[in-house]
Copies of this chain bind each other. A is one copy, B any other.
Amino acid sequence: MDGTRRRFLGRALAALAASGLLTRRTNDAAAAEPPDVPASMKSPGAGFNDYGMPAKYESKVTRTLGRSQPGTTGSGAIRTPLEALEGTITPSGLHFERSHSGVPDIDPAKHRLLIHGMVRRPLVFTVDALLRYPMVSRVHFIECAGNSQLLYQPTPPTLTAGQTHGLVSCSEWTGVPLRLLLEEAGVERGGTWMLAEGADAAAMSRSIPMAKALDDALLALFQNGERLRPENGYPVRLFLPGWEGNMSVKWLRRLKVVPAPIMTKDETSRYTDLQADGKALMFTYPMEVKSLITHPSHGMTLAGAGLYQISGLAWSGEGTIRSVEVSSDGGRSWLAATLTEPVLPRALTRFRLPWRWDGGATVLKSRAIDDAGNVQPEREKFIAEHGTNAIFHCNAIQAWSVAATGEVKHVYA
């Protein structure tokens, strides 16, 4: 922290102290010892749990359900409550989920992963066999291609940050580099693509370029230390860092090496991006550079002028976040936020900036820039380029208005 920022923080803290949010004791005698002994100190507390859960006072911090499709179970999406979280790791219980025909019940003792097609040695792996391979651990975000799609709408959604942008989460993923298994199977010349298929009732199927499979793809077995959660692909999922979440096929049952993309239902009728001119983009893999302020955000009310901490998340499927700029005047001026170290490639990056609110109406925005030089666009520019036919890959800047009453709302500004 440099001297200037530190002095600013000192002044800002003094303002907070004067803001009335904290109660200052003026009677030193009364403050010499704590005056009250709470009930929690008068009798023993609760015993142990084999597997712990959040405090009952946090019971409203849950995933929130988006639209679901009638006639199927669990087709839809459930979102991470980004506005209630801090740091960069998403607790697995609050990790977003998108499934196309619910969460299959898969006994790991019976599950098999087949590698076949254009390989010299077709291989079938049990989960126990996969667990014997060399593993790596990496912190990565995963984002549904359809995240933030409500920003294509002509009017801003009146929803929380999580309800609007909560199809992104971040975990420490541990698994086997896919390259090792493909080298063992022996990919034949011309085998430049792979079909990846899930063992769910949607038979989720995507074509994966071999170059990505041989680069940083994982067969993920663990998430935040423990085995994958059912809704995140238990017992094994493909994991393609930075690419649209749908391609990280869950409940993975086979990889078929092929000479060209298969053109599955999931990459033709879905997960293509219809542009303003009526043409659709296909195979738009990396998720673009993006950020949003999670605190304060839509639905919150500031308790009067004074010091606040602006806190948010930034990420890029095309590399590492280089900087995040924050505007508290609707985009006229921008200040560099502090990024939480270590800043990791293709991982959620927490940014923070102290902000002294003067009590007047204003608009907050954040803008992320990655190390490939990509800059998150304003919504107006994004819509001008892409139109409003698509529902995927929206990385427009998110604006929150702050009213003089302290109310924070989603605005297009």
Q: A residues engaging B (CB < 8 A)?
A: 9-10, 13-14, 16-17, 21-25, 28, 31-34, 38, 40-55, 57-58, 61-63, 65, 68, 72-76, 78, 84-95, 97, 99, 101-111, 114, 116-117, 121-126, 128-129, 132-137, 171-174, 180, 183-184, 197, 199-201, 203, 221-222, 224-231, 234-235, 251, 253-254, 307-309, 311, 340, 342, 344, 350, 352, 354
Question: Nearest chain B CB to A320's CB is how many angstroms away?
Answer: 12
Given known pairs A48-B74, A128-B21, the reply for A225 and B88 (CB within 8 Å) is yes
B231 touches A52 (CB 8 A): yes
A-B contacts besides A10-B183, A45-B103, 19 pairs, CB < 8 Å = A22-B124, A31-B114, A40-B106, A41-B203, A44-B72, A45-B73, A45-B74, A46-B73, A47-B102, A48-B68, A48-B76, A48-B97, A49-B231, A51-B63, A53-B229, A54-B230, A85-B225, A87-B137, A91-B91
* Centre residue among A47, A53, A99, A354 by max chain B CB count within 10 A: A47
Q: Give every chain B residue within 8 A of A174 (Cβ-Cβ).
A: 86-87
Q: Give every chain B residue within 8 A of A184 (Cβ-Cβ).
A: 13-14, 17
Q: Give every chain B residue within 8 A of A95 (Cβ-Cβ).
A: 52
Question: Nearest chain B CB to A266's CB is how many angstroms away?
Answer: 14
Expressed in whole angstroms, the Cα–Cα distance for A322 and B72 within the complex equals: 52
* Centre residue among A48, A75, A135, A172 by max chain B CB count within 10 A: A48
A85 touches B226 (CB 8 A): yes
Q: Give every chain B residue within 8 A of A74 (Cβ-Cβ).
A: 44-48
B129 touches A21 (CB 8 A): yes
User: Could you give 6 example pairs across A and B, Cβ below 8 Å?
Assistant: A25-B122, A41-B199, A46-B102, A87-B174, A88-B225, A134-B309
Given known pairs A34-B253, A44-B102, A84-B226, the reply for A62 and B51 (CB within 8 Å) is yes
A199 touches B38 (CB 8 A): yes
Expressed in whole angstroms, the Cα–Cα distance for A118 and B199 within the complex equals: 64
* Centre residue among A84, A117, A184 by max chain B CB count within 10 A: A184
Q: Give every chain B residue within 8 A of A52 (Cβ-Cβ).
A: 63, 92-95, 97, 229-231
B227 touches A58 (CB 8 A): yes
Q: Give every chain B residue within 8 A of A109 (Cβ-Cβ).
A: 57
- CB closest chain-B residue, reference A254: B34
Expressed in whole angstroms, the Cα–Cα distance for A25 and B122 within the complex equals: 6
- Tell me which of B9, B22, B201, B231 contacts A43 (CB under 8 A): B201
Expressed in whole angstroms, the Cα–Cα distance for A41 and B105 within the complex equals: 10
B200 touches A41 (CB 8 A): yes
Question: Nearest chain B CB to A168's CB is how many angstroms away?
Answer: 12
- CB closest chain-B residue, reference A175: B86
Q: Give every chain B residue within 8 A of A254 (Cβ-Cβ).
A: 34
A86 touches B225 (CB 8 A): yes
Q: Give every chain B residue within 8 A of A200 (Cβ-Cβ).
A: 40-41, 45
- Tell me which of B92, B117, B340 contacts A136 (CB under 8 A): B340
- CB closest chain-B residue, reference A47: B74
* Centre residue among A50, A72, A84 by max chain B CB count within 10 A: A50
